[in-house]
C-alpha cells in the first residue's frame, strides 16, 4: 500500500512528487506518455508565453538563451529535475480505473499493472480530449487536432481553424515556412484585444498581421466549416457565402478538455468553470468531495504552470500530515 499515487507527470505531478519526497511519503507517479508530455506536444521550437520564474521548478534553475524559454529548454528543465531528484515515475503507463475509499485505500489499475494507495492525486492536465467540429470529413487522415511542426507542409494548402493562440501560432509558423495558409477565425476572436479574455498575444498577432500584409497568409472570417474532403474544404463565411478552398492539410485547434471520466466514476462532482468543466474541490486542500481523492493543475481553477507547481507544494504536506496522524 503506497501513501500516494500521483497521476500525470506534467509540472503539477512533478511538483507533487518532489513534495512527496520531502514529506517522506511512499509515492509513485504514473504517466501515460513521457515526462512533461503536454509540453512535448507544443510546436517544435516554440517560445513560451511565460518567463522562467513562472515555469521553473526552483528559482534560478531554468536559464533560457533568450528572455523566454523554448519548448526544448522547458523539456530539458523538467527532465533534469526528475533525473537530479531521482523521482519515481512510471512512464508509458496509463491509469484506466481508480476504485475504493479512504478507509480501505484505493485500487489503481493501469494498462500494465495494479497498485494500492491511501491517497490519489489527479494531475492529469486538460489535453486529453481535443475539441472537434463534428463535421463530415473531420476523420480524414489529413485533419489534425494538434500542431507540432510546419516543415512537412511547404507549398501545401493548409487550413487552420480556431481563434486562440494555438491556432494563431500554427497559422503563423505554417505561413512563415512556406505553406499556403488560410486561418479561419470568428470575427470576435480576430478583433479581441483583451488579454484577460484570451486574446491573441501581441507577439503572435504582430508577425501574423505582417504575413497577411505580405499576402502570404489569408484570414477568413467564418461562421462554420461545413465539410472537409480529400482536396478541398467548404466553409460558410460570416456573410453567409459558401466558400470552397483547395486543401492538403487541416489543423482544427479549438481547445481541448480534460477527461474527467475516472474522477466521475469515483463519484467526484464537477461544475462549470470559466472555460471548462472542473471538479469540485476544497480550495484550501484541493481534496474533492470524495475523501482521499485530490486534484491539481490545469484542469482545476489553478490553470497555469506556476499554479500547477505551487499548489502541490501546499497540499502534499497537508496529505502527509493527515496520513501521519492516522498511523
Ligand atoms: C500549445 C500550448 C502552449 C502553452 N503555453 C503556455 C505558456 O506559455 N505558459 C503557461 O503557463 N502555460 C502554457 N500552456 C498551458 C500549460 O501547458 C499547462 O498549464 C501545464 O502543462 C499544466 O500542467 P499540469 O501538470 O497541470 O498538466 P499537464 O502538463 O497537461 O500534465 C498532465 C499529464 O497527465 C498525463 N495523464 C493524463 N491522463 C492520464 C492517465 N489516465 N494516466 C496517466 N497519465 C495521464 C498526461 O499525459 C500529462 O503528461 C500551454 C498549453 C498549450 C497546449
| Lowest pLDDT segment from 64-68, 194-198, 240-244, 265-269 | 194-198
Query: What pTM does this model have?
Result: 0.96
pLDDT of amino acid 269: 98
Q: What percent of the chain has pLDDT over 90?
A: 96
H or E segment to which residue 114 belongs = strand 114-122
Break the chain down into helix, strand, coil percent, rounded to 5: 30, 30, 40
pLDDT band at residue 225 under the 50/70/90 scheme: very high
* pLDDT at residue 137, rounded to an integer: 98
Q: Is 95 in the pocket of ligand 1 (CB under 6 A)?
A: yes
The rounded mean pLDDT for the chain is: 97
Can you tell me which residue has the cell 489535453? Answer: 127
Q: Which conformational region is residue 36 in: left (phi greater than 0), alpha (psi within -120 to 50 degrees), or beta?
A: left
Q: How far is the CA of 12 from the centre of ligand 1 (A)?
A: 8
Specify the pairing of strand 143-144 against strand 105-110. Answer: unpaired
Please list, in sequence order, all residues whose beta carbon lies within 8 angstroms of the beta carbon of residue 54, skipping any fewer than 6 positions away.
Answer: 304, 305, 306
pLDDT score, position 136: 98
The DSSP bridge partners found for residue 130 are 256
Cα 69 from Cα 58, distance rounded (Å): 15
Whether 82 shows a pLDDT value over 80: the answer reads yes
Determine the atom of ligand 1 nearest the C-alpha atom of 303.
19
- Residues with Cβ within 8 Å of 194's Cβ and at least 6 positions away in sequence, in order, are none
Best residue among 124, 131, 166 to mutate for probing ligand 1, ranked by most atoms within 8 Å of CB: 124
pLDDT tens for residues 311-322?
999 999 999 999
298 CA to centre of ligand 1 in angstroms: 6
Q: Residue 313: CB within 6 Å of ligand 1? A: no
List the one residue out of 112, 151, 133 whose CA is nearest residue 32. 112
Contacts of 2 (CB under 8 A, 6+ apart): 26, 27, 28, 115, 116, 117, 118
Residue 200's nearest CA partner among 302, 49, 51, 74 is 49
pLDDT of amino acid 197: 84
CA of residue 152 to ligand 1 center, whole Å: 25
Amino acid at each position: 500500500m503506497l501513501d500516494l499515487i500521483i497521476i500525470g507527470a506534467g509540472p503539477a505531478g512533478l511538483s507533487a512528487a518532489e513534495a512527496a519526497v520531502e514529506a517522506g511519503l511512499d509515492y509513485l507517479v504514473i504517466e501515460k506518455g513521457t515526462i512533461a508530455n503536454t509540453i512535448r506536444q507544443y510546436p517544435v521550437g516554440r517560445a513560451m508565453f511565460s518567463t522562467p520564474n513562472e515555469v521553473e521548478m526552483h528559482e534560478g534553475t531554468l536559464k533560457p538563451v533568450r528572455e523566454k524559454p523554448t519548448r526544448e529548454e522547458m523539456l530539458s528543465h523538467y527532465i533534469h529535475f526528475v533525473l537530479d531528484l531521482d523521482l519515481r515515475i512510471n512512464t508509458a503507463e496509463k491509469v484506466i480505473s481508480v476504485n475504493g475509499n479512504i478507509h480501505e485505500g484505493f485500487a489503481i489499475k493501469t494498462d500494465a499493472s495494479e497498485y494500492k494507495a491511501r491517497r490519489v492525486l489527479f494531475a492529469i492536465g486538460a489535453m486529453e480530449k481535443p475539441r472537434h467540429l463534428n463535421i463530415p470529413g473531420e476523420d480524414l487522415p489529413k485533419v489534425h487536432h494538434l500542431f507540432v511542426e510546419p516543415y512537412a507542409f511547404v507549398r501545401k494548402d493548409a487550413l487552420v481553424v480556431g481563434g486562440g493562440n494555438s491556432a494563431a501560432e500554427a497559422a503563423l509558423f505554417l505561413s512563415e515556412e512556406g505553406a499556403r495558409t488560410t486561418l479561419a477565425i470568428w470575427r470576435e476572436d480576430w478583433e479581441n484585444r483583451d488579454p484577460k479574455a484570451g486574446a491573441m498575444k501581441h507577439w503572435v498577432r504582430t508577425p501574423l498581421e505582417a504575413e497577411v500584409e505580405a499576402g502570404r497568409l489569408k484570414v477568413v472570417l467564418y461562421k462554420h466549416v461545413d465539410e472537409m474532403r480529400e482536396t478541398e474544404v467548404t466553409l460558410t463565411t460570416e456573410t453567409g457565402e459558401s466558400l470552397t478552398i483547395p486543401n492538403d492539410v487541416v489543423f482544427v485547434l479549438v481547445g481541448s478538455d480534460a477527461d474527467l471520466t475516472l474522477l466521475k466514476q469515483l463519484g467526484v462532482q464537477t461544475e462549470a468553470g470559466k472555460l471548462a468543466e472542473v471538479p469540485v474541490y476544497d480550495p484550501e486542500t484541493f481534496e474533492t468531495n470524495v475523501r482521499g481523492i485530490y486534484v491539481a493543475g490545469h484542469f482545476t481553477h489553478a490553470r497555469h504552470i506556476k499554479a500547477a507547481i505551487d499548489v502541490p507544494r501546499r497540499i502534499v504536506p497537508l496529505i502527509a500530515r493527515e496520513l501521519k496522524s492516522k498511523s
